[in-house]
Homo-oligomer: A and B are copies of this chain.
Amino acid sequence: MSDLPATVEIHEEGPREGFQIEPGPISTADKIRVIEALAETGITHIQVCSFVNPRLVPGWADAEAVVSDFNAKPGIAYTALWFNAAGLERALAFRDKLHVTGAISLTASEGFTRKNLNRSHAENVAAMRKQTALHLERGVPVKRIGVMAAFGCNYQGDITPAQVISTIEDGLSIAKEAGTEITLFSLADTMGWATPARIERTLGEVRSRWPDKDIALHLHDTRGLAVANAHAGMRMGVRQFDSTVGGLGGCPFAGQKGAAGNICTEELVLLCEEMGIRTGIDLDRLIEVGRLAETVVGHQLPSELIHAGSLDAFRRKAA
Partner of A223, one of B256, B258, B270: B270
Q: Does A196 contact B (CB under 8 A)?
A: yes
Please tell me if the beta carbons of A307 and B225 are within 8 angstroms of each other in the complex. Answer: no
Please tell me if the beta carbons of B195 and A307 are within 8 angstroms of each other in the complex. Answer: no
Q: Which residue on B lies nearest to A305, using beta carbons?
A: B223
Q: Does A52 contact B (CB under 8 A)?
A: no
Q: Which residues of A contact B (CB under 8 A)?
A: 1, 111, 152-158, 192-193, 195-198, 221-225, 227-228, 230-232, 251, 254-260, 264, 267, 270-271, 274-276, 300, 302-311, 313-315, 317-319
Q: Which residue on B lies nearest to A198, using beta carbons?
A: B274
Please tell me if the beta carbons of B225 and A271 are within 8 angstroms of each other in the complex. Answer: yes
Partner of A258, one of B222, B270, B307: B307
Please tell me if the beta carbons of B275 and A196 are within 8 angstroms of each other in the complex. Answer: yes
Work out how many copies of this chain go into the complex. Answer: 2
**A273-B228 Cα distance, complex, nearest whole Å:** 15
CB<8 Å pairs between A and B, sample of 21: A154-B317, A157-B319, A195-B270, A195-B271, A198-B274, A221-B304, A223-B304, A223-B308, A224-B264, A224-B267, A224-B270, A225-B227, A231-B231, A231-B232, A254-B308, A255-B314, A257-B307, A258-B307, A259-B304, A259-B307, A300-B300
Partner of A154, one of B154, B271, B318: B318
How near does chain B come to A243, taking the closest CB pair, in angstroms?
Answer: 11
Given contacts A158-B315, A195-B271, A223-B267, contact A254 B307 (CB under 8 A): yes
Please tell me if the beta carbons of A197 and B275 are within 8 angstroms of each other in the complex. Answer: yes
Please tell me if the beta carbons of A157 and B307 are within 8 angstroms of each other in the complex. Answer: no
**A154-B305 Cα distance, complex, nearest whole Å:** 14
Within 8 Å CB of A259, what residues of B?
304, 307-308
**A310-B251 Cα distance, complex, nearest whole Å:** 14
Please tell me if the beta carbons of A308 and B153 are within 8 angstroms of each other in the complex. Answer: no
Please tell me if the beta carbons of B156 and A308 are within 8 angstroms of each other in the complex. Answer: no
**A195-B311 Cα distance, complex, nearest whole Å:** 11
Identify the 8 closest CB pairs spanning chains A and B, nearest first: A255-B309, A224-B267, A157-B318, A228-B228, A224-B304, A260-B304, A254-B308, A195-B274
Please tell me if the beta carbons of B257 and A314 are within 8 angstroms of each other in the complex. Answer: no
Please tell me if the beta carbons of A195 and B275 are within 8 angstroms of each other in the complex. Answer: yes
Within 8 Å CB of A303, what residues of B?
224
Within 8 Å CB of A319, what residues of B?
157
Partner of A255, one of B227, B256, B308: B308
How near does chain B come to A127, taking the closest CB pair, in angstroms?
Answer: 24
Within 8 Å CB of A302, what residues of B?
304
Please tell me if the beta carbons of A318 and B111 are within 8 angstroms of each other in the complex. Answer: yes
**A158-B223 Cα distance, complex, nearest whole Å:** 29
Q: Which residue on B lies nearest to A234, using beta carbons?
A: B196
Please tell me if the beta carbons of A196 and B231 are within 8 angstroms of each other in the complex. Answer: yes
How near does chain B come to A236, taking the closest CB pair, in angstroms?
Answer: 13
Please tell me if the beta carbons of A270 and B314 are within 8 angstroms of each other in the complex. Answer: no
**A260-B258 Cα distance, complex, nearest whole Å:** 16
